[in-house]
Amino acid sequence: MVESCPALESHLEPARGALSRPTGGKASSGVDLWWLVLLILVSLVPAACRRVDSGWTGTVEDSAGVTIVRNPATGMWRPSEEWTVDEELRIGAVEGEPAYEFGVVLPGAIAVDSHRQIYVLDSQAQEIRLFSGEGEHIRTLTAKGNGPGELASARDLLMGPGDTLFVPDWRTQRMSRFAPDGSFGGDSRFWPRKEGLSIAFRTNGSGLIVEQVGSFVYGTPEPENPRDALVRWASGRVRSDTLALVPTGQDTYQEGGFIGTVWYAPVPCWDLTEDGGILFGMNDQYRFRLISPEGEVDRIVTRAYEPRPVSDRDIERAMSHMEDRWKRMGASPSNMTRLVQAQHFSEFLPAYQSLYEGPSGTIWVQKTKPPSEMAEDETLWFTWPSDWATQDWDVFDAEGRYLGVVTMPPRFTPSVFRGDEIYGVALDEVGVSYVVRLRVVRTGRGPGDASGHM
């Protein structure tokens, strides 16, 4: 199917009447010649002006060198073509060997090296434990403390070049390094209170480390038009050049020295691509950008989306759950009052919650769902507003075309995508953490599969 292309439409339109094949009798050689010319012209239409697969009803256009992909609400996968995920490894135990008992494992506390060995940071014990690709414990690298090679308040693991592990520690303000053999390789200082508050880290399979640095700096007034910086860490040791500036999230506010929360306010969502580019979007719209390693916007992808208002029932459901959580955590009546007063809600739910680059350059977008429509077992261990998302992920191909939905297991949060493997944290019914590896199962016969390009 050929979609209308503005660059060629003026050439094709006037000839339509002359190129109609006669309904009866033998066509003249002149008409046959014109049909041949038309076929040649069609073969020369740029790919950006075509629908390559008849199952896709979106559009692609070029705007000042930027490819804009507009997707319908329905994906390309037919029922027999949908991808799924299968659990192939689970590390953890309720009781048994201490190395397999985890206290708290946060989503960013998993790293995978080039040999598929898995590093896990138990944030409660401040221990880094190394496991084989088959889930066998190899060694424990760290202990809790403030000395060299020890951790006090770490929450992220970052796999850098040459399988060197980097660990930022917020209390000691050190970035520790560990060699592939587990030995401590030294540390460097960073100053989040002076240079900007660290919000998130990302790394890719090539060892690139990028940090989102907030605009807020202690002791200084908040800027009028705040922007967060996506900053590369040079050799994993120091903050280096700024790759991009993105709008600061609107999910927190300050008032009289007190920090409050705005549920569902727009926040920047981003990930690193394998080639060193950036996948970025503000989640108040179903829209994201692919930015090249050189900092140029290559592609903008959108999907048809109807904003969902936040209802009174949504607020009641979310606040009831959070108040129960705070009580179980031991909050005093006075602190409970302050916590409740500090919660505010946006008018609409976000269009999505998270962005990741997945297998073969696909893009995975976590869907949202109103709290009032969530079952109790879905929200059992939700703690932060960002937890209130679904296990359904929209998947787009490498060109930005919407394929369909992949559903993750209950209470599973992805952390690392490597090839067709997804590593993340799963919680059981009583809140025990497990490290889980999923495998993406492709049908091998539909859009987005490696068996054929669209």
Domain boundaries, the chain: 6-48, 51-310+346-441
C-alpha dihedral sign at 241, 247, 251, 252? positive
Which pLDDT belongs to residue 382? 82
Give phi and psi for 382, each to the nearest 5: -65, 135
Between vectors from CA 201 to CA 346 and to CA 266, what angle results, nearest 5°? Answer: 15
Question: Domain 51-310+346-441 belongs to what topology?
Answer: Neuraminidase (2.120.10)
User: Are residues 60 and 69 in contact, defined by beta-carbon separation less than 8 angstroms?
Assistant: yes
CA angle 197, 199, 205 (to 5 degrees): 130
Confidence at residue 435, expressed as pLDDT on a 0 to 100 scale: 97
- The pLDDT of residue 238 is 67
Q: What is the sign of the dihedral through the CA atoms of 42, 43, 48 and 52?
A: positive
Nearest to 374 by CA among 314, 425, 429: 314
Distance CA 208, CA 202 (A): 8
Asked whether 285 and 269 are in contact (CB, 8 A), the reply is no
- Per-residue model confidence (pLDDT) at position 55: 81
Q: For residue 380, what pLDDT is reported?
A: 78
pLDDT of residue 236: 56
CA angle 443, 445, 447 (to 5 degrees): 95
Q: What is the dihedral of CA 18, 22, 28, 30, to 10 degrees?
A: 20
Report pLDDT for 50. Answer: 45
Q: How far apart are CA 416 and CA 397, in angstroms?
A: 18
Q: Which residues pair with 175 in a beta bridge?
A: 168, 188
Which backbone phi and psi does 195 adopt, to 5 degrees?
A: -100, -5
- The per-residue pLDDT for 215 is 75
What SS3 state is found at 323?
A: helix
Residue that the structure tokens 């048994």 belong to: 96
Contact yes or no for 244/223 (Cβ under 8 A): no
How many residues in the chain?
Answer: 454
pLDDT at position 222 is 67
CA distances from 96 to 91, 102, 140, 426 (A): 12, 11, 16, 19
Q: What is the mean pLDDT of the chain?
A: 83
Specify burial of residue 309 (Cβ count, 10 A radius: 0-12, 13-18, 19+): exposed
Query: Which parts of the chain register pLDDT below 50?
Result: 1-53, 451-454
DSSP string for residues in 207-259: --EEEEE-S--TTSPPPSS-EEEEEEEETTTEEEEEEEEEEPP-SEEEETTEE
pLDDT at 198: 81
User: Rounded to whole angstroms, how far apart are CA atoms 361 and 269?
Assistant: 17
